[in-house]
Every structure is written in C-alpha cells, then in structure tokens.
C-alpha cells in the first residue's frame, strides 16, 4: 500500500497512461500467471478528483497494486521450477516498471 502521495502519482499515471497498463495486463504471459489485482482494500467509489465513469476506474479505486501467483508443492519440486518462476517474474516485470516510473 503506497503512501498517499505515491498512490496519487500512480493514479495520475493510470489516468494519463492507462492504455499502457491495459496492454501490460492483457499480455498472454501476464494473464497466464496473474488473474487480477488484489482488491480487498479497494475503494468502493471513485477516488476524489476522478469521474465515476472513468475508463480505468477499477484500477483507480485500488489502494495497492499487488498480483500474485501460487505455485503448487508439485511445481516447486520440479526441475523446471526455476525456469517457471523466472517466466512469472518476467511476466510481472513490465507492471513493476510501470509503477516505478509512475512514482519517480
């Protein structure tokens, strides 16, 4: 959960450049490992300053930008685990870059 000033920067980036985020989460490799953002702590309504019908409203309501992938015990003991873990990392890297650029 970013602090308020950082969260505002991320929301601003989504407002101005949500198309890039949309492209990132639409990537086949991303969708293979990550189904959705953690949204348990999301706002119920649009954040202050954003219209309720904003194209990226669901992302703007997020307070954290967490995605996760669960590897099974069977997956972890396979010889291919490191390779698969690296694929998951590479799939999420564009999201991490997007967020890092937003707060810098």
Q: Per-residue pLDDT tens for 41-58? A: 999 999 999 999 999 999
Residue ranges in the chain whose pLDDT is less than 70: none
Which range marks the domain in which residue 60 is found? 4-103
- Which pTM value belongs to this model? 0.90
User: pLDDT value at position 1?
Assistant: 82
How many residues does this entry show for the chain?
Answer: 104
63-79 b/e (C-beta count within 10 Å ≥ 16 → b): bebebebeeeeeeeeee
Collect all residues with Cβ–Cβ distance below 8 Å to 60 and sequence separation of at least 6. Answer: 11, 14, 15, 46, 47, 50, 54
Q: How many angstroms separate the CA atoms of 89 and 104, rounded?
A: 22
What is the number of domains present in the chain?
1
């Amino acid at each position: 959960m970013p602090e308020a000033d950082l969260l505002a920067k991320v929301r601003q980036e989504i407002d101005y450049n949500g198309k890039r985020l949309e492209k990132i989460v639409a990537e086949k490799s991303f969708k293979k490992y990550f189904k959705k953002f953690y949204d348990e702590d999301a706002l119920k309504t649009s954040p202050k300053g954003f219209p309720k019908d904003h194209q990226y409203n669901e992302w703007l309501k997020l307070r954290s930008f967490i995605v996760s992938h669960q590897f099974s015990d069977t997956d972890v003991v396979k010889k291919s685990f490191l390779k698969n873990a690296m694929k998951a990392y590479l799939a999420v890297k564009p999201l991490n870059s997007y967020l890092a650029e937003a707060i810098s």
